[in-house]
Amino acid sequence: MIYLDHAATTPVPRAVADAMYDVLTGNFGNPSSQYPLGRAARELVSRCRETVAESLGCGAEQLYFTSCGTEGDNWAVTAAAWQNRHLGRHIVTTAVEHNAVLEPCRWLEKQGCEVTWVKPDGRGNLTAEQVLSAVRPDTALVSVMMVNNETGCVFPIREIADGLRERNPRTLLHTDAVQGYLKVPFSAVELGADFITLSAHKIGGPKGVGALYVGGRVRNPRPLLAGGGQERGLRSGTEATAQIAGFAKAVELRSENLPEKLERMRSLREYAAARLSAIPDLTVVADGAAPHILAVSLEGYPSQNIVSELGEKGICISAGSACHQGKPSHVVAALGLPKRTAAGVIRLSFGPETTREDIDACAAALQAHHDARFPML
C-alpha cells in the first residue's frame, strides 16, 4: 500500500500503540478514583498534559483534552460567542473552514448571530487585512484556520491577532490548528490566538482524542459538558486515559528532529509538484505553503473516479473536491475554479514516512489514468 493521505489521518507508530496498550492493561484506573491505581492514572494524565502543552508553548493549565478536533472547534466557537454575547452577535470566519467550524457558525446564525464569510483568492490565499476589514465593534469572534486541509494554504493567524488588538481588542480569536500543529512551527504565546484546536490522529496519535488551548483572555469559559467535574469542571466525563497517553507519545515522537522532518516533507511536496506537473492536463491548483499538502487537478477527469481507481491499485489519495451530485467541495467552490478544473481536484498529503518512490508510483498511476481515458467533462 502507498499511503498519500496523511491530512486525513496518519499511521500509528508501534510505540504509540504500546503506550496505549500499557494503559489499557496495566494503568487502567479511573483518574477520579482515590486509591493508588486511580492516582497513578491521574498522574499519567497530568504528565501527558504537560507533554502536549510543552509542544504548544503554553501552560498545562491552559490545555483541555477533548475527543477530537471537531469537538474543540465547536467548543471554542460557542464559548467565544457566549463570553462576548453582550459585546455583539457578529462572527467573522472564512468560506474555506473545516465543517467543524462552518456548522457551529451556521447554527449560531439560526440563533440570531450574523456571520461574515471571507473568501480567499483563486489560489487559496487570504490576507490578514481581508479578515480584519470585516471586524466591527460588535464582532464577538474571529475564527480562521491555520492551514487549510484541502489546499495546504497557511493563513496569517499572528497578523490577525496583532490587528485585532487595534481593531477590536475584545474580539476573541480562534484558530483550528489541526493541520498546522507540528507541521507549521508556532507557539501559543507568540501566535496570540485565544483558542487553538488540536487533534492527535493528524500527527501519528490515535483517533478519539484532541485538545483545546484556552488563553488568558477567556474568562470563565462556558463548560462543554456538565457532570463529574473532570478537566477542571469544563469538560466532564471520565478521561480517555489510553488515548491521552497515545497522544502524548505521538507528540514526543513527532517532535524528535522536527525541523528535519518538516524540511523533508517540504522537499517531497516540491518533488511531487514537479513530477505530477509533467502529466498532461494536470495542474497545481493552490499556493499551499504547508509542507505536507499538495492540491492538483487532472482537468476533465472526475476526482472521485481517480481516487477509486488509484485505491484499487493500493494508492491512497483523496478527492479535494468531495463531489456530491457534481458539486465541488465548499473549499474548491470558494476558489472559483473553472468547472473542468474544479471537478478534477485531488489532494496528496505526506508524512515523515513518505518516500519519492511513493510519489513516483502515484504519478505513474495518474499518467496511466490520463492515457486510458478521454476527459469525461
Of the pLDDT bands very low, low, confident and very high (cuts 50, 70, 90), residue 323 is very low
Of the pLDDT bands very low, low, confident and very high (cuts 50, 70, 90), residue 320 is low
Model pLDDT, residue 374: 55
- Measured from the Cβ of residue 176, the count of other Cβ atoms closer than 10 Å reads 31
Q: Tell me the backbone φ, ψ of residue 2, rounded to 5 degrees.
A: -110, 115
Statement: 257-372 belongs to CATH 3.20.20.300? no
Model pLDDT, residue 371: 87
DSSP string, 108-139: HHHTT-EEEEE---TTS---HHHHHTT--TTE
Of the pLDDT bands very low, low, confident and very high (cuts 50, 70, 90), residue 324 is very low
Q: Where are the domains of the chain?
A: 14-255, 257-372
Give the CATH architecture of domain 14-255. 3-Layer(aba) Sandwich (3.40)
What are 252-287's pLDDT values in tens digits?
999 999 999 999 999 999 999 999 999 999 999 999
Strands 293-298 and 315-316, by their bridges, are: unpaired
DSSP string, 168-225: -TT-EEEEE-TTTTTTS---HHHH--SEEEEEGGGTT--TT-EEEEE-TT--SPPPSB
Mean pLDDT across 169-194: 97
Model pLDDT, residue 294: 98
The answer to whether 14-255 and 257-372 have equal CATH topology is no
Asked if pLDDT for residue 351 goes beyond 60, the answer is: yes
Asked if pLDDT for residue 322 goes beyond 80, the answer is: no
Amino acid at 175: T
Of the pLDDT bands very low, low, confident and very high (cuts 50, 70, 90), residue 93 is very high
pTM for the model: 0.96
Contact between residue 320 and residue 346 where contact means Cβ atoms under 8 Å apart: yes
Mean pLDDT across 321-346: 80
Catalytic residues: 323
What are 185-230's pLDDT values in tens digits?
999 999 999 999 999 999 999 999 999 999 999 998 889 999 999 9
Look up residue 321 and give its three cell numbers.
473536491
Contact between residue 202 and residue 50 where contact means Cβ atoms under 8 Å apart: no
Model pLDDT, residue 369: 87
